[in-house]
Structure 1
Amino acid sequence: MVVFDGPMAIVGGGVVDPALLVELVERGVALVAADGGGNTIGDAGLVPVAIIGDLDSLTDRADWERRTRVIHIPEQITTDFQKALYSTSAPVTLALGMTGKRLDHTLAALSAVLQFAPKRKLLLVDEVDVALAVVGPITFTAGLGERVSIHPLLPVDFLRSTGLLYPMDGLRLEPGGLIGTSNEGTGGVVQVVPADETPWLLILGKERLWDLVGP
């Protein structure tokens, strides 16, 4: 188990902004590569703290083993993202390069988020959005007209909300049914209160990343 006292970012082989990787390091976020994510981090001129996975996508493994910690996990039951999650611990975990490039990888990433959301604070980051896996109620601020999407990973009942154009009071959201895409903030404090601790996603614009990461 690789344990971090501060935030960490798991980087996959999807589309990742190199400038964001540099910013993460400058802000003290530890970079961990999920297999081929090591290539992505290397292309940005950086070295991950560790590379974890079955290593079928990592270029020049021997060179990486001279430069950082490489953890080979050959089992094929889980994805490299899941391997990186169950092999690490951190108060906040960002995941980059896990969505957008391949649909099957995106769906697998959402499945991993559902699995690990009750155990750790987890955010998916892509070119446009940041999605925070939420368990229980949440309070945050949103500007007037700011996009606030509430996405159910499983059927989830909401007791109430404040600060949203379309209130969540008494609603059940579920895949294949009612979902909360493109709600809007009314300007100020937003509170969303579900009935239980079923995980769901709060999706905001990427510019809100550091607000969701927290102090």
Structure 2
Amino acid sequence: MDSTPLVFDDVLVIVGGGTVEVPLLQALSHEGARLVGADGGADAIMAAGLVPDAVIGDLDSVSDPEGWPEPTRVLHISEQITTDFEKCLYSTRAPVTVALGMTGKRFDHTLSAISAATRFARERAIILADEHDVALALSGPFRFSVTPGERVSIYPLAPIDFLFSKGLLYPLDGLHLEQGGLIGTSNEAVEREVEIVPKGDTPWLLILEKSHLGTLISALQADA
């Protein structure tokens, strides 16, 4: 197997075997996003009337491992240490990655997707999207636009200290967050622009309503 990562200059959408909102997938594709199926997620891409740029995984759940259109690259990775989502992440490079069908259907799959996002958050921005929310895994500071009064949740993917924040009802200034301790969920925006500045490059999760997917993608592309 060729171990050279697949490099994409546009937004990359990795599709898993969970619930996938077809109109959203089609809209992202029509806006120029590239599509990769994480094993059986490739079937969801085809069912939406689209063709994946690649199929990556151990190929134990895809309907037909061999019958793909000519443009589609198939990367059969047999190791069982990582999930198919992780295989997609270490086999690709992209300025922004959106993951569909990775959360919401099975809780253990959701946890494994968050774990994978944590592992790669220092290298790339990863947005997990489901029917209700978008969760952006990243490291370092981030600034984004939001309507005052909307929910803004921050969740520590590892023990993390925050230097300061702007635009939040409950400031993060000087706070230490960690799982099993103080976390930052169900905060609220009080300004149209929110800025969050952690100390160092510890991964953290920003959770917003799904309607902010396009805004997050634009902000990440601008940073890139």
**TM-score between the two structures when normalised by the length of structure 2:** 0.93
Shift of 1:46: 1.1
Q: 5 Å matches for 1:40-79?
A: 40-64=44-68, 68-79=72-83
Question: 2:23 corresponds to which residue?
Answer: 19
Distance 1:60 1:66, change over 3 A: farther
Q: Which has the higher strand share?
A: 1
Shift of 1:63: 1.7
Report the 3-state secondary structure (helix = DSSP H, G, I; strand = E; otherwise coil) of the residue aligned with 2:189: strand
2:188 to 180, 184, 188: 184
**Where in structure 1 do 4 or more consecutive aligned residues deviate above 4 Å?**
none
Q: 5 Å matches for 1:167-206?
A: 167-206=171-210
Shift of 1:164: 0.4
Tell me if 1:32 matches 2:36: yes
- Partner amino acid, structure 2, of 1:10: I
128-137 or 17-26, larger mean C-alpha shift: 128-137
Report the 3-state secondary structure (helix = DSSP H, G, I; strand = E; otherwise coil) of the residue aligned with 1:164: coil
Tell me if 1:136 matches 2:140: yes
- Partner amino acid, structure 1, of 2:30: E
Whether contact under 8 Å (1:11, 1:33) holds in the other structure is yes
- Partner amino acid, structure 2, of 1:71: L
Counterpart-to-counterpart distance in 2, 1:45 and 1:189 = 37
* Unmatched tracts of structure 1, length 5 or more: none
Report the 3-state secondary structure (helix = DSSP H, G, I; strand = E; otherwise coil) of the residue aligned with 1:62: coil
Report the 3-state secondary structure (helix = DSSP H, G, I; strand = E; otherwise coil) of the residue aligned with 1:144: coil
Distance 1:67 1:139, change over 3 A: closer
Shift of 1:66: 5.2
Q: 5 Å matches for 1:135-174?
A: 135-174=139-178
Kindly report the root-mean-square deviation, in angstroms, between the aligned alpha carbons of the 2 structures: 1.2
Whether contact under 8 Å (1:164, 1:186) holds in the other structure is yes
1:88-110 Cα shifts (integer Å, max 9, x gaps): 11111111111111111111111
Question: 1:113 corresponds to which residue?
Answer: 117
Whether contact under 8 Å (2:124, 2:138) holds in the other structure is no
Whether contact under 8 Å (2:15, 2:38) holds in the other structure is yes
